[in-house]
Amino acid sequence: MTHQFDPTSLREYDIRGIVGKTLGPDDARAIGRGFATLLRRAGGHRVAVGRDGRASSPELEAALVEGLTASGVDVTRIGLGPTPMLYYAEAVLEVDGGIQITGSHNPSDYNGFKMVFQHRPFFGEDIQKIGKMAAEGDWDEGEGSVGDADIMDDYVGRLFAGYAGGEYRIGWDAGNGAAGPVVEKLVKLLPGEHHTLYTDVDANFPNHHPDPTEEKNLADLKRLVAEKNLDFGLAFDGDGDRIGAIDGQGRVVWGDQLLSILAVPVLKEAPGSTIIADVKASQMLYDRIAELGGKPLMWKTGHSLIKTKMKETGAPLAGEMSGHIFFAQGYYGYDDALFAAVQLIRALHVAGKSLTEMKDAMPALVNTPEMRFQVDESRKFAIVEEVLDRLEKSGADVNRTDGARVQTEDGWWLLRASNTQDVLVARAESHSQEGLDRLVAHIDEQLAKSGVERGPQAGH
């Protein structure tokens, strides 16, 4: 038995595709066979399996479990829930790995698999290995058992254990994603006043797309906060590992701004520790961490890469612009948007200020949203190298952690290749609109020198 995956489905951080086109039950079965074989060869024998609320998830789950057991691994199914609930199961149950079936924040016809292998992220080379083993039919044979574990209440209890004081009036938008049932249980435990939106799991996402980093998806939450005069609002992506937030005035509090608030209690408890953010984060965040006595560390974008760096540096907290926030202080070191929500309530209570006041106190910076430039897959990394070479020859102040992040008197700009799509991603930030225009002109100039023109999809 051998199996060929669609090459587009084997991504850097997970396996993902369009159901019926680039992903189906045969792929799920082959993932199970490969993952189980690798786990057994590493001395493991039991895997937790969870799924999100997509229509295709039960069928993919059945095929995945079939593959895992056929290669001799026992399976504990935890059922429907957010990705961090699977990470929690992998951390606390007697298992050696975990797989969540989820399409994350992609449209409803997508689905995929996020994996944990013996308490570490499974990505990059690991995923390519699953593809290679399938092509060669290099799978162990065996007969594993299947059982079920109902852990949602335990998980909610663990989230609530992170709560410390403060009664707030909060709006919660689960976007019909897999976090909905957890949000409903959690708000019953939290003091204060809570109003929820779209907590019923619906594979069609009838109200809005479940991606809280796009401001248009926060329109209903803004309306709720305004109508009920709430303190702030929280939103989650389709599988509950990314958080979005708005203050009492309806202004978005972006991922790096949330991290600057969450860093305060963390650094009080662990003075001088390292806090990690990705290369897309504002300079304001790095300055704020330093001001609080922490060691800011700029690292590569990507949840698996950040988790790996956290383990290496012993960082208690890390985050990405995209709303993935990772806690190792008093938690398990993975990205959990529901835990981040509870920790945000705690951080505001510790600070004794509202989210609106915290947002007001942040330096007034102007920045671009992510600008995306479609390029040929074979050229995307090469273009970034060409840009880096030209910049270094010109004596520019460049950080090469993940692409090119260039510091100038006007602020900074970033150009990096996406790990998951055939695009270059750019971003810029300045103290003034004039400064921002100059930074964007630098990006355009460098791209033009490498033969890339700003397309209509680039946005501004």
- DSSP string for residues in 358-370: HHHTS---EE---
CA distance 172 to 235: 6
- DSSP string for residues in 302-323: SHHHHHHHHHHHT-SEEE-TTS
Is the CB of residue 375 less than 8 Å from the CB of residue 423?
A: yes
Is the CB of residue 446 less than 8 Å from the CB of residue 437?
A: no
CA distance 187 to 195: 9
CA distance 18 to 16: 7
Is the CB of residue 181 less than 8 Å from the CB of residue 82?
A: no
CA distance 191 to 167: 6
Rg (alpha carbons) of the chain, rounded to whole number: 22
CA nearest neighbour of 251 among 277, 221, 206, 281: 221
| Catalytic choice (9, 57, 104, 304) | 104
Is the CB of residue 275 less than 8 Å from the CB of residue 263?
A: yes
Concerning whether 282 is annotated as a catalytic residue, the answer is no
Q: Tell me the catalytic residues.
A: 104
